[in-house]
Amino acid sequence: MTVPLVLASSSPFRRALMANAGLTFENRPAEIDERKIEAGLEGASPDQVALTLAKAKALDVSRHVPHALVIGSDQTMSLGNRVYHKPKSLAKARESLLSLSGKTHRLNSAITLAGHGDIVWEHVSHADLTVRPLSETFVDRYLARVGEKVFGSVGAYQLEGEGIQLFSDIEGDYFTILGLPMLPLLGKLRELGAIDG
């Protein structure tokens, strides 16, 4: 008998990745204050921030469904020591994009598994994305075309859409970029006997 899987996320992208992989799971978003948790992590690395939030999500949901294996995930975007958040306005999106122009930033995608209120596994994958040099006029035209879609992404871009035009190089797998490192997750679920191996 397999252990039920629960995804502690409200992200439609993460749900789609799990469903497309043929996994049977319940979706139950965590009820945590991410910004409050992050405020207590001053000086933490982007990896530590992502991992702490992923653990908090998994543990919150695991308390409600202790018999299940709960998947918690979170992603941070960093350029050096600066950690980015989803833009709240087109002006903030513009500032973010211009700050990334001509530079390589990192996506830090953390994933955890919790069972019976304890973390049983954790992992962080990385992707490095190089933004080509961008002119202010190009960024303005890009934002005019994509509009409010930029609010759904920490980097103000979606690689699966027009955002791909911002980049000159990408190192890392697709799943890490979307915020759910599927290959390490599937490997661990098989190892634990939670899915067919």
Catalytic center residues: 74
CA angle 149, 16, 9 (to 5 degrees): 80
The pLDDT, as a whole number, for residue 153 is 86
Structure tokens at 46: 């982007």
**Per-residue pLDDT at 134:** 97
Pull the structure tokens for residue 143. Answer: 């934002």
What pTM was estimated for this model as a whole? 0.89
The angle subtended at Cα 48 by Cα 42 and Cα 50, nearest 5°, is 105
Which of left, alpha, beta for 103 (phi over 0: left; psi -120 to 50: alpha)? beta
Q: What is the chain's pLDDT, residue by residue, as a tens digit (197 residues)?
A: 578 999 999 888 899 999 999 999 999 999 999 889 988 888 889 999 999 999 999 999 999 998 999 999 999 999 988 889 889 999 999 999 999 999 999 999 999 999 999 999 999 999 999 999 999 999 999 999 999 999 988 889 988 889 999 999 999 999 999 889 999 999 999 999 999 87
pLDDT for position 35? 86
Alpha carbon 178 to its chain's center: 6
CB 114 within 8 A of CB 152: no
Structural domains in the chain? 5-191 (3.90.950.10)
Cβ–Cβ under 8 Å, residues 113 and 69: yes
